[in-house]
Chains A and B, each alone.
Chain A
Amino acid sequence: MEFLFDNITALGALTAIALGFGALLGFAAVKFKVDGNPIVEQIDALLPQTQCGQCGHPGCRPYAEGLAEGEEINKCVPGGEDTIRALADLLGREFVPLDEEHGQTPETKMVAVIREAECIGCTKCIQACPMDAILGAAKQMHTVIADECTGCDLCVEPCPVDCIDMLPVPETLQTWHWDAPKGIGNRPGELIPVRNIA
C-alpha cells in the first residue's frame, strides 16, 4: 500500500512539474513571440541601402528577405566584395565572387548631379529616386541633395534630356585617410628612419 502511495506522490510531483513548465513555456511562447524573421533585420543592416534594384529586387529589404530564404549572396553590386564577405559571415555560407550579371562595383562612390541649365522640370527623376533626394517641381529646375544621394543610378534612365551625370564623390579633409602601405618588397612611403643617424 505504501509502495503505491509513494508512486502516486512521485507521479503527482512529476505531473505538477510538467504542467508548471508547460504553462511557463506556453506563456513565454505568447509573451516573447518574435514577429517576422529577425535574420532579415540583420541582413538588411549589412546591405548598403542604396535601393538601386540592381539585384533584381525593388530595394534592399526585399533582397534581404530573399537572402533569408536562401537566395544567392553575390547580387549586391554597390556593396561589392565587402558586403558579400559580411553576408557569407552572417549566413554561414561560402564566399562567392560578385555575379557580373548584375553589374560591376564602381571603384568610388558616385553621386548624381543634374546639369541644371538643361533640366526641363519633368519630375521623372523625382519619381524614380528611392531616397527622395531630388528636389524640384513640375516645370521648375530640379537639383540633387548630394548628402542624401546614394548613387543608385535610377534617376539617369528616366531623364528625357539626359541631363543627369553620375560623378565620383570628391574626397574632403573629413573623408581622407591614409592609404595602405604598398606591401612587402616596396619602400615604405612615410617611414621616418630616426635610427639611421648618429
Chain B
Amino acid sequence: MSRRIWDFHGGIHPPQNKKQSSETSIRRAGLPEQLIVPLQQHIGAPGKPCVAVGDRVRKGQMLARANGFVSLPVHAPTSGTVQAIEPRPIQHPSGMDALCVVITPDGEDTWIEHSGVSDYSALDKKEILHRIREAGIAGMGGAGFPSVVKLGVKPDQKIQTLILNAVECEPYITADDRLMRERADEIVQGLQIIGHLITPDEILIGIEDNKPHAIEAMNRATQETDIEVVVVPTKYPSGGEKQLIRMLTGKEVRSGGIPADVGVVCHNTGTAYAIKRAIMDGEPLISRITTLTGDYVADKGNYEVLLGTPVGWLLQQAGVKATDLHRLIMGGPMMGFAVHNMAVPVVKTTNCLLVPTLEEFPDPAAEQPCIRCGTCAQACPVNLLPQQLYWFAKTKEFDKAAHFNLADCIECGACSYVCPSNIPLVQYYRFAKGEIRTQQQEQAKADHARQRFEARQARLAREEEEKERKRQERAKAAAAKQAQKKAAPAEKPAPTAAITGGDDLAKLQTAAASTMKRYKEAQKALATAEKNGTDNLEALQKKVAQLKEKADQAKAAFTSAKSAQAEDAAPPAATKEDPLAALKQASADDFAAYKAAEQALQEAQANNGADTQALQQRVIELKAKSDASKAAMKAARARQKEEIQQQNAASDPVKAAKMEVAKQQVLLKKATKALQAAKDSDAGATDALQENVSAAEQALQAAEHALKKVEEEHA
C-alpha cells in the first residue's frame, strides 16, 4: 500500500499503558440493581420523557423522545419498572444533577419486539436515517454528537472520503481495539451502511500502528470490499477528527469549519458498530464497550456495559475493593474528568473508567511561573500559541484569547503535558472558553433586555400621548359647552407641565428608590456589624445617618415635584387673581355711594333740611372719587388689553400688526367724528381737530404699511 500519510503539527508521545486492558476479551458486566438513564447523553437538547413512574418497560423501549433536531432518544437497557424520573448526579465535571429515568430491573431482560433488515439497500435512505435517529446513536468516541446529523448529507455537498476513526490515540483506552479484534465484521457492515448513506468516493479506516491485532482483523474483514485500512504512526492526538483528516487526506479543515466543508466525514468505530446493530438487528443503543483500567482495578479489561449502570457497581464487578479511591477518571487520562460520585451512570460516551493508585498517578506538583520556553507551541496539534492564550486567560483578556482562536483548541492536553512549569494550561483554556460563553449569553440577554426596555418606553409614551389627546378633547368639549352657555369664553387649559415634568419625575423617582435601597443596605450592614461586634461601628452608623438623610431628601424632592406637577396640571386661569375685578368693584361701590349721597341731597332739598350745604359738598366729593376710580379701572383695562396685545405680538407679529391697523382705524374714525361734531356745533377748535384727523390718517397708513411688511416676511 503506497498511500501517502501526511503529518500534523505538534503532538506528543505519552506512555501507552494499553497492554493492561487490551489482552483480555470483552466480558459482560451484568445487571445492576438499579439503572440510571440520563436524558442527556449527547451534545444538544435533552430528550423528553415518554414513560411515567411505575410503568413497566421492556428492554429497548424508548424512555425519552428526541426533543429537536440536535437531540436523541434514550431507551431502557433492560426490562423492569420505572422507579423514578428525577434529577440524579450525572456524567459531568460539575458534579451537578440532571433529569434521569431510574429503572429497577426485573431480571428477565425481555426485549421489546424488534427486527432488523439484512438488505438495507432496499430501504429508503430517509428511512435508514430515521432508524438511526430512533436508535439514539451518538458519536461514541467521546463528544457524543448525534450521528444522524453528520450522516444527513446536504444534496449540494459531495463527500469524497469517509473515514472510520479507529485510531484510539489516548493512553489506557482499548475499547475500540478490542471491539475491532472481536467484532470486525459487524464494524465493517456498519461502515458500509454509512457508505451507502453518504456515497463517498473512498472509504478509509485509520488505525494507529500500536494495534497490530486490530489491523489484522480489519484487513481480514475488508478483504472482499473496497474499504482501505490505513495504518498511521502512533502520536497523540492523531485520533482528533481534524488531525486524522489531515493525516489521511492532507486536507485542513478551516477554523470554525466542519469536515464536510472539505468533503470528508468521520465516524467512530463504536458508532459504526452501533449503526450495524440498529439497522440489521433492530437494536437501539443500550450498551457500550467500556475499558476498566488503572491499578485499583483487579480485573482490568473491556466490559460490555448497559447504559445507566452506576460506576460504583461496575467497579465492584471488576474487583475494585476499596471504597476510598485515590481518583476516578471518566474518559482517558488526557481528556477525561474526575468523578466524585459513585452513583454516576455509564453513558453513551463513557469509553473508559480509569482508577489509578497514588503511586501510578501521584498528586501533581505545584504550578510554577511560565518560563516562556515555547514547548507548548511546539506540541500544539492545532497550531495555536498556548503561551499567549495562557496569558490572556490568566489576565482575563478574553476578547484577545478569542482573537487568538481559542475556540479552535481541542483541549487535548498536549500543552499541559509538555509544560515544564506544571501549568494546567487546558484548565485555563476551559475557564476562558466558559467565560467567553457566559459573556456571549449575557450579551444576548442584555440585547434582549434593551429591546424590552425600549418597547416598554415606547408603550408608556404612547399611553401618555393617548391620555394627553383625550384630555385635550375633553377640554375642547368643555370649552364648546361653555361657549354655548354664552358664558365668558373658556380659556383652554395648557397642561404642558405634565409632559415636560414627566422625565424629571422619573429621574427623581429612581433616585429616591436607589438611595432608599442603599440606605437599607447600609442599615443591614450596620446590623450585621453590630452582631459581629466589629470596631468600625461608628463609621457605619455615620454612613447610615447620612444615607437616611439623603434618602429622605430624595423622597421629599420626589413628592414635592409630584405635587408641583399636579398643581401645574390644573387649569392655571381658575385661580389667577384679577386686579381688574377689584378695580371694577371699587368703582361700582364708589358710584353707588355717590348716587346714595345725591339721593340724600335731593331729599334734604325737598324737605328743606338745614344741612343741604354739607350734603352738596359731600356729593361733589363722592362724585370726584367715583370718577377717579372709574378712570383707574379704565386705565387698568387698557393696560391689560395692551399686555395681551403685546403677548400676541410676541407670538404672532402678523396678528399684532393687524390689530394695530384696526386700532388706528378706530382712532381715525373717532377723530373724524369729533371734527364733524365740532363743525356741526360751530365750535372754535376745529383746526386742532383737523390736525388730529390728519395725524390719525398718517398713523393708520404707517400701521397698514407695517402690516404689509410683516405679512410679506411671514408669507
A-to-B contact residues, CB < 8 Å: 44, 47-54, 56-60, 102-103, 128, 130-133, 148, 150, 153-154, 156-158, 171-173, 175-198
Contact = CB atoms under 8 A, between A and B. Distances in A.
Nearest to B97: A173
A103 B427 contact: no
A49 B447 contact: yes
Nearest first, the 5 A-B pairs at minimum CB distance are: A177-B434, A53-B510, A188-B424, A178-B430, A49-B449
Interface in B467-526: 503, 506-507, 509-511, 513-514, 516-518, 521
A183 to B, nearest CB: 7
22 contacts: A49-B447, A49-B449, A49-B450, A49-B453, A53-B510, A58-B503, A103-B514, A130-B456, A132-B455, A132-B456, A156-B517, A175-B441, A177-B430, A179-B431, A181-B431, A184-B369, A186-B366, A187-B365, A188-B427, A189-B424, A191-B427, A193-B361
Interface in B254-280: none
Given A190-B424, A197-B360, A52 B514 contact: yes
Interface of B: 14-15, 17, 40, 92-94, 96, 98, 171, 329, 333-334, 336-338, 356, 360-369, 393-394, 413, 416-417, 422-424, 427-428, 430-431, 433-435, 437-438, 441-442, 445-450, 452-453, 455-457, 503, 506-507, 509-511, 513-514, 516-518, 521
Nearest to B94: A176
Nearest to A54: B514
A162 to B, nearest CB: 11
A184 B431 CA distance: 16
A103 B450 contact: no
Contacts of A133: 452
A44 B449 CA distance: 12
Specify the main secondary structure of chain A where it touches its partner: loop
Contacts of B413: 192
A156 B524 CA distance: 15
Given A154-B510, A173-B96, A180-B428, A51 B517 contact: no
Nearest to B550: A101
A150 B449 contact: yes
Contact of A157 (B448, B506, B513): B513
A60 B416 CA distance: 43
Contacts of B422: 188, 191
A192 B364 CA distance: 8
Nearest to B329: A192
A175 B96 CA distance: 11
Contacts of A195: 14-15, 417
Given A57-B507, A181-B367, A191-B422, A157 B517 contact: yes
Given A148-B452, A173-B98, A184-B366, 17 more contacts: A44-B450, A49-B446, A49-B450, A50-B449, A51-B449, A53-B514, A56-B511, A59-B453, A131-B453, A154-B510, A176-B94, A177-B433, A179-B431, A191-B364, A193-B362, A195-B417, A197-B360
